[in-house]
Protein backbone atom coordinates (compact mmCIF):
# COMPACT_ATOMS: atom_id res chain seq x y z
CA UNK A 1 0.00 0.00 0.00
CA UNK A 2 2.86 2.37 0.81
CA UNK A 3 4.44 1.57 -2.57
CA UNK A 4 1.13 2.37 -4.31
CA UNK A 5 0.98 5.78 -2.57
CA UNK A 6 4.57 6.51 -3.57
CA UNK A 7 3.84 5.63 -7.21
CA UNK A 8 0.74 7.89 -7.19
CA UNK A 9 2.75 10.74 -5.66
CA UNK A 10 5.54 10.31 -8.23
CA UNK A 11 3.07 10.22 -11.13
CA UNK A 12 1.22 13.25 -9.76
CA UNK A 13 4.54 15.04 -9.38
CA UNK A 14 5.53 13.97 -12.91
CA UNK A 15 2.21 15.24 -14.24
CA UNK A 16 2.63 18.57 -12.52
CA UNK A 17 6.18 18.81 -13.89
CA UNK A 18 4.94 18.30 -17.44
CA UNK A 19 2.09 20.77 -16.89
CA UNK A 20 4.54 23.36 -15.60
CA UNK A 21 6.90 22.64 -18.49
CA UNK A 22 4.09 23.10 -21.03
CA UNK A 23 3.05 26.38 -19.39
CA UNK A 24 6.64 27.67 -19.36
CA UNK A 25 7.24 26.65 -22.99
CA UNK A 26 4.04 28.45 -24.04
CA UNK A 27 5.09 31.62 -22.21
CA UNK A 28 8.57 31.34 -23.71
CA UNK A 29 7.22 31.02 -27.25
CA UNK A 30 5.01 34.08 -26.72
CA UNK A 31 7.91 36.16 -25.46
CA UNK A 32 10.17 35.01 -28.29
CA UNK A 33 7.55 35.92 -30.89
CA UNK A 34 7.17 39.38 -29.30
CA UNK A 35 10.95 39.81 -29.44
CA UNK A 36 10.99 38.77 -33.09
CA UNK A 37 8.25 41.30 -33.91
CA UNK A 38 10.13 44.13 -32.21
CA UNK A 39 13.42 43.22 -33.86
CA UNK A 40 11.87 42.92 -37.32
CA UNK A 41 10.20 46.30 -36.80
CA UNK A 42 13.61 47.84 -36.06
CA UNK A 43 15.11 46.18 -39.13
CA UNK A 44 12.24 47.37 -41.32
CA UNK A 45 12.77 50.96 -40.19
CA UNK A 46 16.45 50.77 -41.11
CA UNK A 47 15.68 49.22 -44.50
CA UNK A 48 13.14 51.95 -45.23
CA UNK A 49 15.87 54.55 -44.58
CA UNK A 50 18.11 52.81 -47.12
CA UNK A 51 15.29 52.65 -49.64
CA UNK A 52 14.60 56.37 -49.15
CA UNK A 53 18.28 57.10 -49.82
CA UNK A 54 18.19 55.05 -53.01
CA UNK A 55 14.99 56.78 -54.16
CA UNK A 56 16.54 60.20 -53.52
CA UNK A 57 19.69 59.15 -55.38
CA UNK A 58 17.50 57.99 -58.28
CA UNK A 59 15.83 61.39 -58.45
CA UNK A 60 19.23 63.13 -58.44
CA UNK A 61 20.51 60.76 -61.14
CA UNK A 62 17.43 61.47 -63.24
CA UNK A 63 18.00 65.21 -62.84
CA UNK A 64 21.61 64.74 -63.94
CA UNK A 65 20.44 62.75 -66.93
CA UNK A 66 18.09 65.56 -67.92
CA UNK A 67 20.90 68.09 -67.65
CA UNK A 68 23.12 65.83 -69.77
CA UNK A 69 20.36 65.67 -72.34
CA UNK A 70 20.22 69.45 -72.33
CA UNK A 71 24.00 69.45 -72.84
CA UNK A 72 23.59 67.11 -75.79
CA UNK A 73 21.04 69.50 -77.24
CA UNK A 74 23.42 72.41 -76.79
CA UNK A 75 26.22 70.29 -78.29
CA UNK A 76 24.08 69.58 -81.29
CA UNK A 77 23.39 73.29 -81.45
CA UNK A 78 27.10 73.90 -82.10
CA UNK A 79 26.84 71.97 -85.33
CA UNK A 80 24.35 74.48 -86.65
CA UNK A 81 25.64 77.93 -85.56
CA UNK A 82 29.40 77.71 -84.70
CA UNK A 83 29.63 80.96 -82.69
CA UNK A 84 27.69 79.61 -79.65
CA UNK A 85 29.15 77.21 -77.02
CA UNK A 86 26.60 76.95 -74.17
CA UNK A 87 26.80 73.14 -74.18
CA UNK A 88 30.10 73.03 -72.28
CA UNK A 89 28.68 74.55 -69.09
CA UNK A 90 25.61 72.31 -69.23
CA UNK A 91 27.85 69.27 -69.74
CA UNK A 92 29.98 70.13 -66.68
CA UNK A 93 26.91 70.74 -64.48
CA UNK A 94 25.28 67.52 -65.66
CA UNK A 95 28.45 65.52 -64.99
CA UNK A 96 28.72 66.91 -61.45
CA UNK A 97 25.06 66.11 -60.74
CA UNK A 98 25.49 62.55 -62.02
CA UNK A 99 28.61 62.02 -59.86
CA UNK A 100 26.73 63.28 -56.79
CA UNK A 101 23.83 60.98 -57.61
CA UNK A 102 26.15 57.98 -57.97
CA UNK A 103 27.74 58.74 -54.60
CA UNK A 104 24.29 58.96 -52.99
CA UNK A 105 23.21 55.73 -54.65
CA UNK A 106 26.28 53.90 -53.37
CA UNK A 107 25.67 55.24 -49.84
CA UNK A 108 22.08 53.94 -49.92
CA UNK A 109 23.19 50.54 -51.19
CA UNK A 110 25.82 50.34 -48.44
CA UNK A 111 23.14 51.04 -45.83
CA UNK A 112 21.15 48.08 -47.13
CA UNK A 113 24.18 45.77 -47.29
CA UNK A 114 25.27 46.51 -43.73
CA UNK A 115 21.91 45.54 -42.31
CA UNK A 116 21.50 41.86 -41.77
CA UNK A 117 17.78 41.18 -42.03
CA UNK A 118 18.00 38.08 -39.85
CA UNK A 119 16.66 38.69 -36.33
CA UNK A 120 19.97 37.82 -34.65
CA UNK A 121 18.96 38.59 -31.08
CA UNK A 122 15.89 36.39 -31.38
CA UNK A 123 17.93 33.57 -32.90
CA UNK A 124 20.48 33.77 -30.08
CA UNK A 125 17.70 33.78 -27.51
CA UNK A 126 16.07 30.75 -29.15
CA UNK A 127 19.41 28.89 -29.03
CA UNK A 128 19.73 29.69 -25.30
CA UNK A 129 16.14 28.57 -24.73
CA UNK A 130 16.80 25.31 -26.54
CA UNK A 131 19.85 24.64 -24.38
CA UNK A 132 17.89 25.46 -21.22
CA UNK A 133 15.05 23.16 -22.29
CA UNK A 134 17.51 20.35 -22.96
CA UNK A 135 19.10 20.86 -19.54
CA UNK A 136 15.65 20.90 -17.92
CA UNK A 137 14.70 17.73 -19.78
CA UNK A 138 17.86 16.00 -18.58
CA UNK A 139 17.17 17.10 -15.00
CA UNK A 140 13.63 15.69 -15.18
CA UNK A 141 14.98 12.42 -16.55
CA UNK A 142 17.49 12.26 -13.71
CA UNK A 143 14.70 12.89 -11.19
CA UNK A 144 12.68 10.06 -12.63
CA UNK A 145 15.53 7.57 -12.25
137 lies in some domain: no
30 lies in some domain: no
14 lies in some domain: no
What pLDDT tens digit does each residue of the chain (145 aa) get?
Answer: 455 545 555 555 777 877 887 788 888 888 888 888 888 888 888 888 889 999 999 999 999 988 887 777 676 666 655 666 666 667 777 788 889 889 999 988 888 776 666 677 878 888 888 888 888 778 777 777 6
Distances (CA, A) of 78 to 85, 87, 139: 6, 8, 88
60 lies in some domain: yes
- Could you give the number of structural domains in the chain? 1
5 lies in some domain: no
Looking at residue 15, its pLDDT comes to 73
139 lies in some domain: no
User: Whole domain around residue 83: which residue ranges?
Assistant: 41-119
9 lies in some domain: no
Q: Are 121 and 39 in contact (CB under 8 A)?
A: yes
22 lies in some domain: no
- Neighbour tally for 97: CB within 10 Å: 19
Amino acid sequence: MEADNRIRTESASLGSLFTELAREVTALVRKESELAKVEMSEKTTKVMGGIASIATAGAVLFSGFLVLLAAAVFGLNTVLPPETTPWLSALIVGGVVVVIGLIMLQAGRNKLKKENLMPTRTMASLRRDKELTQEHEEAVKEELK
